[in-house]
């Protein structure tokens, strides 16, 4: 059974730092991996989607990488801002049509 | 930009009552999903729906749950007799076509069962 884990569970950094969020999965047979942002009590905003054949995707200050063989994905946030404070979720799609979500990393960026 | 919408944003109901959660997926999308997130826990898959039938469901999606696409725009989740443990945020999602396409999520409905 696929298990998705995110480390760290929580992170607090000063504004301007570059940071890396980690997502690990136990079964490398994935179709794609999606990173989401969730603000408290709110919905899920899709940030990046990486297909299984890709190594990385970039959007603005965000860069996501995927290493299927080692069962890992990372989300890199450059020059963090207080507005980046949220919970970040990774979710992967296997050979079924559902997304399997990770445990999330709660990020706080302070001024 | 097209988006998935959900109503109501918050629903409070008494245990044993029926609730219907409503979603309007993005208009040219063909695949529809419900997920839920109990407070402090992971987002969990409930059901996927395509071509007017359920394509996959999780263990959570028992006989108390049903889904329907009553017209060309709405996608609903019905819980027949709510339990306290059904209290959660329910998210609707949609996708344009099969394969590795991105799922787009709605803002969620917070269901509180008292």
| Omega before B14 within 30 of 0, i.e. cis | no
Instruction: Sort B43 into a burial class: Cβ within 10 Å, 0-12 / 13-18 / 19+.
Output: buried
Q: What are A36-50's pLDDT values in tens digits?
A: 999 988 889 999 999
Contact B42/A101, CB-based, under 8 Å?
Answer: yes
Using the Cβ of B5 and the Cβ atoms of chain A, whether some distance falls under 8 Å is answered with no
Nearest Cα residue in chain B from A44: B105
Tens-level pLDDT at each residue, chain B (114 residues): 779 999 999 999 999 999 999 999 998 899 999 999 999 899 999 999 999 999 999 999 999 999 999 887 899 999 999 999 999 999 999 998 766 688 999 999 999 999
Using the Cβ of B22 and the Cβ atoms of chain A, whether some distance falls under 8 Å is answered with no
Contacts of B45 in chain A (CB under 8 A): 98-100
């Amino acid at each position: 059974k696929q298990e998705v884990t995110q480390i760290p569970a929580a992170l607090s950094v000063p504004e301007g730092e570059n940071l890396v969020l980690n997502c690990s999965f136990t079964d490398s047979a994935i179709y794609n991996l999606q990173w989401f942002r969730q603000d408290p009590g709110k919905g899920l905003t899709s940030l990046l989607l990486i297909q299984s054949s890709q190594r990385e995707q970039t959007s603005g200050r965000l860069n996501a990488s995927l290493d299927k063989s080692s069962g890992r994905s990372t989300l890199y946030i450059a020059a963090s801002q207080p507005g980046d404070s949220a919970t970040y979720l990774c979710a992967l799609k296997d050979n079924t049509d559902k997304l399997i979500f990770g445990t999330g990393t709660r990020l706080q960026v302070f001024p | 930009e097209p988006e998935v919408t959900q109503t109501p944003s918050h629903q409070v109901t008494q245990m044993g009552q029926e609730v219907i959660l409503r979603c309007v997926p993005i208009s040219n999308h063909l695949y529809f999903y419900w997920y839920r997130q109990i407070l402090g826990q992971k987002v969990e898959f409930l059901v996927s729906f395509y071509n007017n039938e359920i394509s996959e469901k999780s263990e959570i999606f028992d006989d108390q749950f049903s889904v329907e696409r009553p017209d060309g725009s709405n996608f609903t989740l019905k819980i027949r007799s709510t339990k306290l443990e059904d209290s959660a945020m329910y998210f609707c999602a949609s996708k344009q076509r099969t394969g590795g396409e991105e799922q787009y999520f709605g803002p969620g409905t917070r269901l509180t069962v008292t």
